[in-house]
Amino acid sequence: MGGKQCVANGGAPFRAKIVINNLTKDLTLKEPGTCHCRKDGCERNHHKGLHMDAGKVVQGEEPPTVLDPLDSGMFAISARESTACGPDGELHYDVWRDGVKSGTVTLYFSRDANSSTRSQNSRVSGCVNNGEYELFGDFPPDTTDCTFTLRKRKVEVRLRGQLSAQFGGGSLDMTVPIEDILKLPELQRLLEGMDQMGAQADKLTEVVKKLQEEGIKFDFVSANKPSWWPF
């Protein structure tokens, strides 16, 4: 019976550790409400987002059911004893933001039992797949550790144009992450009049508007603009 369960005890040949990092400040990953397991004979009394095509998740080292913002978790996969087939599976989470389900995250992972071949893939869908977040994985052939990371996408923008004397003059021609615009020394005179503004996002929005009025051009390195972008 143990050979049919996605989560099982016993020996753990070709073991690999899977780490999940939620580096966002506003997204929570939760176990899905419906079961994704499709394995014949599995009792499905495990994480509802788990499905193993081959191998198993090591009992006692199972994936977390919840990953809060700025939280990390891990689980372990392995082959089964006396088999030549390495672990191969997937893990699904629902993504929640402000108490509302906003999308899904899916992680794919495998390890070849007869070589150093490893593979990983991932996808994010729903409202969280609007360019503000990115999900990526890494499973190097020289390690047994696989890492998946969900984080805020760092969108880069190129600034080009001439500042007026009112804001210190000088030309701008640089590529920076959007969140670093407020740190540019070339814009400090412009920022001096905005010190009383509260949230950084509000200040950044106003700076962008004023630079647009100055005729500064913004060219996105990435095609995805953040949702707050004023133009």
Compute the distance between CA of residue 181 and CA of residue 86 in angstroms, rounded to an integer: 47
Where does the pLDDT of residue 1 fall: very low under 50, low under 70, confident under 90, or very high at 90 and above? very low
Q: How far apart are the first and last CA of the chain?
A: 59
pLDDT digits (tens, 9 = 90+) for 51-110: 999 999 999 999 999 999 999 999 999 999 988 889 999 999 999 999 999 999 999 999
Q: Average of pLDDT values for 31-40?
A: 96
Give me the pLDDT at residue 45, please. 94
The domain ranges of the chain are: 2-152, 156-220
Tell me: the pLDDT tens digits for 155-182? 788 899 998 888 888 888 988 888 788 8
Q: What is the pTM of this model?
A: 0.71
Helices marked H in the chain — which ranges?
A: 188-192, 200-213
Nearest residue to 223 (alpha-carbon basis) of 87, 117, 131, 145: 131
Question: What confidence tens digit (pLDDT) does each residue in 133-158 have?
Answer: 889 899 988 888 899 999 987 778 88
Question: Would you tell me how many other CB atoms lie within 10 Å of the CB of residue 202?
Answer: 12
pLDDT band at 193 (very low <50, low <70, confident <90, very high): low
CATH code reported for the domain at 2-152: 2.60.270.50
